[in-house]
Amino acid sequence: MFDSLKNTVDFYLRNKIRFSRKNYFEPSESKSDLQLSKDEEELEKILVDKYGLLEYRENSTIIGYLQNLYTLYFLDKYLSPEYSTSLSVLDIGSKNWFYAKGEYSFFKRYSDKLYLDGVEIDAYRLYSNFYNRYEVAKFYIKDLENTSYIPDNLLNINKRYDYIIWILPFVIIQPHRFWGLPDKYFYPKKLFEHAYSLLKPGGTMLIINQGKDEAEEQRNIIGERSFEVFKLDSIFYKYKNERFLYRIIKGGEL
């Protein structure tokens, strides 16, 4: 009860109070000692070549580079888009969108005109350096054409998308509270149904969950919709919990 009230007050305040200062910036780091396994090295070469990442490799931090390789790894493995003149993609719960480059590089390969949106309800959450998620996200997407970070609730999004990527949705209340969100925003089924309604017929949604409990809850939320589920490899970046990926393709209904 106390946590929920505290979250409500803090959430309200951080959406009202904004700091203003120099743009956020991260200096690049050398990739001469990435400490990758043999398999990772081979996959890195394939992904760098396929998605044109040489310049990004030079101009990124080590952790950012590895996390974006991981993003490309699962998109490349579990999606195979057909080339299309225009593609619209939504990322849900983008946080500071540290993985935007991976999503952009993947989908851009399959379309001349890519529109990539990232929606985040808690965009003004502050880091200890006093930059908020929105400011950090602006740095990560600064060179990505037609890419927009939307500081809003998913429920307010009404565009239609060919692909939706949803990495670690809150499907149980403890992590939702732990991350500082008020209880009144916890409605995972409603969010899923809304996200599904945004998919164009034939569109695909990928959802990644961590741990068996969250994956099980995700399965309940998906309900009667048809899906496939896969266990993800931990590659490039070692995550604490095992991860599962749901792939949901929207049937032809309008």
Only segment of 9-17, 48-56, 162-170, 213-221 that touches ligand SAM (CB under 6 A): 162-170
Residue nearest ligand SAM, Cβ-based: 93
**Phi/psi-derived region of residue 238, left when phi > 0, alpha when psi is between -120 and 50, beta in every other case:** beta
Among 141, 191, 198, 222, binds ligand SAM (CB under 6 A): 191
Question: Among residues 47 and 154, whose Cβ is nearest to ligand SAM?
Answer: 154
Examine residue 53 and tell whether it contacts ligand SAM (CB under 6 A).
Answer: no
Taking CA atoms, 163 is separated from 60, 140, 194, in Å, by 26, 20, 14
- Where is 23: in which H helix or E strand? none
Among 47, 64, 93, 134, binds ligand SAM (CB under 6 A): 93
Only segment of 23-31, 177-185, 232-240, 241-249 that touches ligand SAM (CB under 6 A): 177-185
Min CB(30)–ligand SAM separation in Å: 25
Edge-to-edge order in the sheet of strand 243-249: 147-150, 111-119, 84-92, 161-167, 199-210, 243-249, 228-231
Only segment of 36-44, 78-86, 163-171, 243-251 that touches ligand SAM (CB under 6 A): 163-171
Examine residue 103 and tell whether it contacts ligand SAM (CB under 6 A).
Answer: no
Q: Which residue from 103, 221, 93 is spatially nearest to 153, judged by alpha carbons?
A: 93
Question: Among residues 154 and 199, whose Cβ is nearest to ligand SAM?
Answer: 154
Examine residue 150 and tell whether it contacts ligand SAM (CB under 6 A).
Answer: no
Min CB(130)–ligand SAM separation in Å: 18
Taking CA atoms, 223 is separated from 174, 207, 226, in Å, by 22, 14, 8
Decide: 73 and 47 in contact? Cβ < 8 Å. Answer: yes
Fill in the per-residue mask, 116 to 135: x = in contact with ligand SAM (CB under 6 A), - = not in contact. Answer: ---xxxx-------------
Examine residue 167 and tell whether it contacts ligand SAM (CB under 6 A).
Answer: yes
DSSP label at residue 126: B
Examine residue 40 and tell whether it contacts ligand SAM (CB under 6 A).
Answer: no
Examine residue 207 and tell whether it contacts ligand SAM (CB under 6 A).
Answer: no
Decide: 164 and 173 in contact? Cβ < 8 Å. Answer: no
User: Which sign, positive or negative, has the C-alpha torsion 211, 75, 137, 236?
Assistant: positive
| Residues 140, 48: Cα–Cα separation, whole Å | 18
Only segment of 55-63, 138-146, 165-173, 234-242 that touches ligand SAM (CB under 6 A): 165-173
Where do contacts with ligand SAM occur on this chain (CB under 6 A)?
93-95, 119-122, 153-154, 167-168, 170, 179, 181, 185, 191
